[in-house]
Amino acid sequence: MLGACKPTPPAAVKPQSALDVMERVMVSASSCWFKSGDPAFKAYRMDAELTSYSGQPRILLVRKGSGDIRPLLVVMAQGTPARLQAFGPVMNEPLSGRISADVKRWANGSSACR
């Protein structure tokens, strides 16, 4: 009879792959940084490279309207569970704290913009 009162163990959580995490980050970045018209990201455009032979899906921010295609920000993930990295010149600017917070929040499953 006491067996019925025993709590059930939590369900096992499957680790998220790099692709799963980067798809979620890409969708949220597109909505929150670009489609919303956020002035902090007005000078940039985003390119997604989710299908990668290296197994490291990534999103890139490049200067909008510029012939220079070098990325100013790279956000990438690798492995299962996914390990995220964000790097590039933009990460040396005041916007870096916001980028880090947004990417962490989205990688953890939230789609909130702030």
What pLDDT, on the 0 to 100 scale, is given for residue 14? Answer: 64
The pair of structure tokens assigned to 15 is 């680790």
Check whether 9 has a pLDDT greater than 60: no
Kindly report, residue by residue over 27-79, the tens digit of the pLDDT.
999 999 999 999 999 999 999 998 877 779 999 999 999 888 899 999 999 99
CB 29, CB 46: distance < 8 Å: yes
pLDDT at 54: 77
- Domains of the chain, by residue range, sit at 15-106
Contacting residues for 68 by C-beta, under 8 A, at least 6 apart: 62
Residue 26 tokens, joined: 């890409």
Taking the C-alpha atoms of residue 45 and residue 17, their distance in angstroms, rounded to an integer, is 25
Lowest mean pLDDT among 12-16, 39-43, 92-96: 12-16
